[in-house]
Each structure stands twice: as structure tokens, then as C-alpha cells.
Chain A
Amino acid sequence: MKLNFLAFTAIIFLAHNSANTQILDFEIVTDELLQEPPIEDWLSWRGTPKSWGYSPLDQINTDNVDQMQLVWSWALDDTGSAQAAPLVHNGVMFIPGPRGVIQALDAADGDLIWEYRPGITPSIDNTDREITAEDLGDAAMPATAFAGVGRGVLKNIAVYRDMIYTATENASIRALDARTGRLAWETQTADPALGYFYTAGPIVADGVLVTGITGCERYKEEVCFFTGHDPQSGDELWRFATVAAPGTPGGDTWGDLPLRFRAGGDSWQAGSYDPILNLVYMGTSQAKPWASAVRGTDGDALYTNSTIALDPNTGEMSWYYQHLPGDTHDMDETFESVLVDIDGRESIFKMGKLAILWQLDRQSGEIIKATDVGYQNIINVNPVSGNVSYRDGMIPRIGQQIDMCPSTSGFKGWRAMAYSPITEAMYIPITLNCELATFGPTEQVLGGGGTGPVRRINYPHIDAQDNLGELLVMNIPEGDIKWRYRQRAPINTAALTTAGGLVFIGDWNRYYYALDAETGEKLWQTRVTTSAQGFPISYMVGDTQYVAMPAGVGGASWSGMLPRELAPELNRPRNGNSIHVFALPSN
């Protein structure tokens, strides 16, 4: 018996990736912990379910940030674009890389604890729980494919109970054992052969995984959706279609188009959660093809470009607010929902590509205020009613050039804004740019459609001279400008605010900065491997506060076309996906 036991133990040891160790003292992440995390942790992709992008730590502050120095760095896989939003729990950092790789690192020194590699790391009980390339057939991405700006890119992951949750390039959701990195379950939600994939991971709301899918620009019999999944079993609990079908509420907002020709409503940025109201706030992108003349309807196209409040247990919609009915310029409004209470009123703040700051009541969905920063030239917006109307000559016709600000790249992207409760201001990464745009046709057949082609001539914004990058700071809720920081290179990360009176951002030209959140004064800078890119965070291990700053290649037009064409003297390496962690000197 003893011999058999030893042999069994050896098999277990050999079957396990020998590079991996375990987190032996992993503390279960409860709902309460997610909602009120200890200030040392960073448990949601933007810190808490309110998505402020704010750390209550103040060891690093305006007085001493100039002493901050590198403690450790770590190279992520160079198999695609990195836009990482790391999490930290009890001194362990969990970070997503391209092509489904998740790594757990000692957050104090950067030592690898475990890593999950799709198709390589064994599952939790050594049974085959993974969707294989054979299962996917032609829809499988080649193992050697480089994940540029679509499939294979992943922003955020979630931690809950003793699991790490991620969504994949193959339209599946995965659960990993947070102690070992081994796969617990994988659930397919859609067919990647139809174009579906994830670039945003789940959030956890009242014990349910809520995830939005993307890749919905092509004509098919199905549409985009949000799902709720049971975190333990991976079972799908509900599904909410983001495109209204004919004969359903809102179904008449797509004209006479059959469902197969109603595309878009993608979700590619994770949501937020209010545990008191028990509502999840998810965003959707624009209708596809982008131009209404190409879509064949000038209807509102529900529920595209909307904020949607859902019951996380049932998927039932509580309300929706469509920011841009019938958008016709590729002006996404899918981005983060920042939940801030203003004078006791529960609000959501959102901003899309047009740089209009929307304040909504998060219980009713009622508009409270719309503040147009004044950079765009496409629509008029009523600041009280939120109603929008297109300016003369700004609705594109097929083949006819229009002069639009912003370009189809937008002023605002996935680089999430951060709120500071100290300054009561919103810190918003902006890229300033415009475009001579000519929208073109697509084939209206199954499998066709898509965004529609655009002949683009990009040019700098007239108000910004040669500057592409801006950190725009708006007082909340007034919406007036507190200060602006402008520079040549695009701002290329989410913003991070801290109780130390600081805001951290990074740019395409490899710099990270710490600015005084009150004044905008630059107090510290460093330079990293490649473009600063992703979601900087702050956390504490022992007595030390750390600031972690991701860098990465890829990043779509903000990181490719715009700097290449409008700031051609700037360069970045082809590789260099990485995370860089800073702290004050130990003495």
C-alpha cells in the first residue's frame, strides 16, 4: 500500500507543471470582500465594482513620489497585444497576457507562482475540460498566430471565491483554480467561426459572472449578448440579446431589417455593479455597419450604444439609456461606467468617443446631465434632456467625404477614466484627432456586413496643434475643466488616481507619469519597454505601497494608425509586453 501511495503521489507531481507552485494560504474572495476590498488589494478590474480606478493608499504621495523607483518587472508573452488589467489579492498579482495566458506573481518581488497556458496546463483533476483546437475546427486560431487587435487580446479577469475567471478568443469563459492556475471548467457561449470572441472578461455581481461578447459586426442569424454564468458550475443562467429582434420591444428601431441584418451592439469593456440596487451596468457599442446609409436604416437601432442596467441574477433589464440613437460614424459608447454618488444621488458617469460626459441616475436610468467637452463637430446635444441631433451635412452618404472630429478612432477609447473622491474630479485619457472620412458599402448577405469600409485621411485636431495626447480633468458633477495635460504622444493607458493626491497615466512613447491630481504638475516619470498600455493599479504588501504599470504592443488605431501617421517621428519596439512595479526606497 505504501508503495502504491508513493507512486500515486509521484504521478500527481509529474502531471503538474513543474514550474508551478501553489498559493497555500489563499483567502476566499467573498461578495463582501469584492464590494469593500481591503485597501491593500485590487480585486476588480478598476479596483472596486464602482470602477473608480482609485486606490485609497497614500504612502506614495505628492511629497515623495519623485523618489519612486523600480522594484521589479516581468515580461508578458509577446504573442499579441497586451492591455492588461491586473488584480492583486493578499500579496499575489494575477495578470492576463495575450492568447489566454494567465499568470500569478508574487506582488512584492515578481516571482512566478503559477501560470495557466491554454492547452498545456492540465485541468484541475487531469480530465479534459478544455475546448480544443479540434473542437473548434476552422474557427481555431493557429497556435502561432499573433493576436493583433482582435481575437487573442484580453483586458480584464475576475477573482471570486477561490477561482480566477477569464473569457477567451474562442468565445468561451474559463474558471481557474486560484491556488494552482489549473482549469476548473470552460463553457462555450458562441461559435467563434461566426466571428464571436471576447476581449473583456467577466465581472462578479451577487455571485454571478456577467460577461459581454464582441465580434458581432458580421451578418448572422444570431446577435451579440451579455450572459450570466454560475461561477461554480459554469452553467449559463441567462442571456440578454443586445440587439432588439423584430416583434420584440425596440424591434421596430431597425426599420424592416430582418434579425440577420441587425449587427453590432458588441461589448468589449467590462461593466460595473451596484450591490445596493443589485444592478449591473453594461455598455454596448455602435450598430454595424457603422454608417446608417450602409446599414439600410436610420432607426435608433436598439440596444446599440447604450448603457443597460440588468439584474445579475435573472438578466432582466431594469432600464436602458441609448446615448447615440442611430449612430452613423462609429462613435462607440461601450466604455466603463463609473458609479459616483453626487449629493446623495446615485449616478453613473460615462464617456464615449465623442467626449461627451454623461451623468445618469443609476436607479432609473434618467439623464441628469450631458456635458459636451466641445471637441467634436458631429452632433448637438441638449445638456438637460440628453437629446442628440446631427449637425447639418454630418450624416454620411455612401462615397461622400465628410470632415469629422473625432476620427473613427474617437477621442475616448478603452483607456478608462478614473475618479478621485479627494479632488471630486474625473481623469480622462483622450486622443485628439480628426478625419476626412468616406464611408463605403458592404454586401448585405449572411457572413457579409462588417463595419463597412472607410477611406480615412487622419489629421490633428485644430485646437490641439501637434498634440495627440491629453489627460482631460473635469470637475464632477459641474463638468467644467479643472485642468488639461497635453502632449505629442497619445495617452495610452487607463488613468489611476490615489489618495496620495496623484494621478498616474502612461503614453504611446513609453513614458509613465505621476501628476499632481490637483494641479496637473508632473512630479515623476519613467520609461518602459514599449508603449505604456493597459490599466495601472496600486496595492500594498506588508508595509509597502506599490504602483504597477503595464506596457504592451497592439492596441488598435490609437496605438497604430494615429501615431504612425500623425506623429511619425515617434517609434516603439515591436515587442515588450510587460509589467513594471514601483515603490518608494525601502529606507
Chain B
Amino acid sequence: MGTQYMSSHSLPIKTLLLNSLALLSLLHTNTILGQSLGDGLYTESQASRGAEEYAARCASCHSADLRGNSNSPSLIGLSFMFIWEGRTLGELFTKMSTEMPTDQPGSLSQQSYAAILAFILQSNEFPAGDNDLSSSANALASIQITSE
């Protein structure tokens, strides 16, 4: 349509920014380097809060049991891991917090997105731990999603 404005959402800029943030996080978030999902990266209470948020904001599309519907992918089991295995928690958190819910993207607090992510991890049988999952995409950028 011939717009003359540089979009603030243009993909190359976004990609560049995310890559930069990922690099920064590797340099400055020593505490989470080397952590894996098997280490217990969220708390039970955080996942419980996430379950409530999920029911209210996510379940109408992704279903109460996280298995999705025709328009919304499954967030559990084989289907979830097919999409996300090998990618990072930071990527998933960024997708959730910038694109979800699809009708009102970014409308939840960062803490709420982290709680919902904790609920998804719990539902996929990743163990809970003593500390809440971070609500910073940078801090999550080095954590691989892997079933191993």
C-alpha cells in the first residue's frame, strides 16, 4: 500500500533485536547458564497461578487440557514438543508475551505470562523447583526446550 513509515514491527529489526538480547543474556545472566528444564525452573505455586490465568485467557482456544483446537496448537505432549524441541524458553516466552492471546496480544503482565509458561512446563511433566520462572525473555534465552 506504499506506506512511507518504517514499521516498528518489521521482522528484520525484531530478529536483530532478539538476537542481540540473546547474546546479551548469555554474557550477563551467569546464574542461569547451563540450567535445563530438568533442574526445576518454576514453583508449584507459580504454576497454580498460571493455571488460573490459562483457564481465563488461553483455554477457549487451546482447550482446558492444553490439547488445542483446529486453530490453536496443542501445548502438551508429542505435538508441543514437535514444535518447540530444540528451541529456547526465551523464544516461547517471547511468542507468548508478544502474540498471545491472538486477539489481545501482550495484554497480560510479564509475570502472568511467566506463570502460564510455568503451568505449561508443569503440564508437560517438567519438574518444579524452589524459584519462580523468570519473567525476562533474556534470562530464559539460553534454556533449551528438550525432553531429554
Chain A interface residues (CB < 8 Å from chain B):
80-81, 138-139, 141-142, 144-152, 169, 195, 214-215, 217-218, 266, 285, 288, 440-443, 447-448, 450-455, 487-489, 509, 553-554, 556-557, 560-561, 564-565, 568-569, 571, 574-575
Contact = CB atoms under 8 A, between A and B. Distances in A.
A362 B20 CA distance: 60
Q: How large is the interface on B (under 10, 10 to 19, 20 to 34, 35 or more residues)?
A: 35 or more
A569 B79 contact: no
A557 B99 CA distance: 12
A149 B72 contact: yes
A148 B83 contact: no
Interface string B68-92: 1111111001111011000000000
Nearest to B73: A453
A556 B1 CA distance: 23
B61 A149 contact: yes
B49 interface: no
Contacts of A575: 104
A217 B69 contact: yes
A565 B74 CA distance: 21
Interface in B47-80: 55-57, 59-61, 63-65, 67-74, 77-80
Interface stretch (B7-15, B32-40, B114-122, B127-135): B7-15
Given A218-B67, A557-B71, A149 B78 contact: no
Given A80-B60, A560-B102, A568-B11, A148 B72 contact: yes
- The residue in A151, A440, A487 that gathers the most chain B C-beta atoms within 10 A of its C-beta is A440
Contacts of B59: 141-142, 145
A145 B78 CA distance: 27
Contacts of B83: 440, 453, 455
B13 to A, nearest CB: 10
Contacts of B67: 218, 447-448, 450
B43 to A, nearest CB: 23
Among A195, A441, A453, find the residue whose CB has the most chain B CB atoms closer than 10 A.
A453
Given A80-B103, A453-B74, A145 B1 contact: no
A103 B59 CA distance: 26
B103 A148 contact: yes
Nearest to A572: B103
B70 A266 contact: yes
B111 interface: no
B88 to A, nearest CB: 16
B30 interface: no
B60 A152 contact: yes
25 contacts: A142-B59, A144-B56, A148-B101, A149-B61, A149-B72, A150-B63, A150-B72, A152-B60, A214-B70, A217-B69, A285-B70, A441-B82, A450-B67, A450-B74, A451-B68, A453-B73, A453-B79, A454-B73, A487-B1, A553-B103, A557-B71, A560-B99, A569-B9, A574-B104, A575-B104
Interface of B: 1, 3, 5, 7, 9-11, 55-57, 59-61, 63-65, 67-74, 77-80, 82-83, 99, 101-105, 107
Contacts of B74: 442, 450, 453
B131 to A, nearest CB: 29
Contacts of B69: 149-151, 195, 215, 217, 450-451
B18 to A, nearest CB: 14
Contacts of A80: 60, 103
B9 A554 contact: no
Contact of B71 (A150, A195, A553): A150
Contact of A146 (B57, B65, B99): B57
The listed residue with most A CB atoms (<10 A of its CB), out of B5, B65, B67, B107, is B67
Nearest to A289: B79
Contacts of A451: 68-70, 73
Contacts of A447: 65, 67
A569 B7 contact: yes
B103 A217 contact: no
A193 to B, nearest CB: 8
A397 B74 CA distance: 19
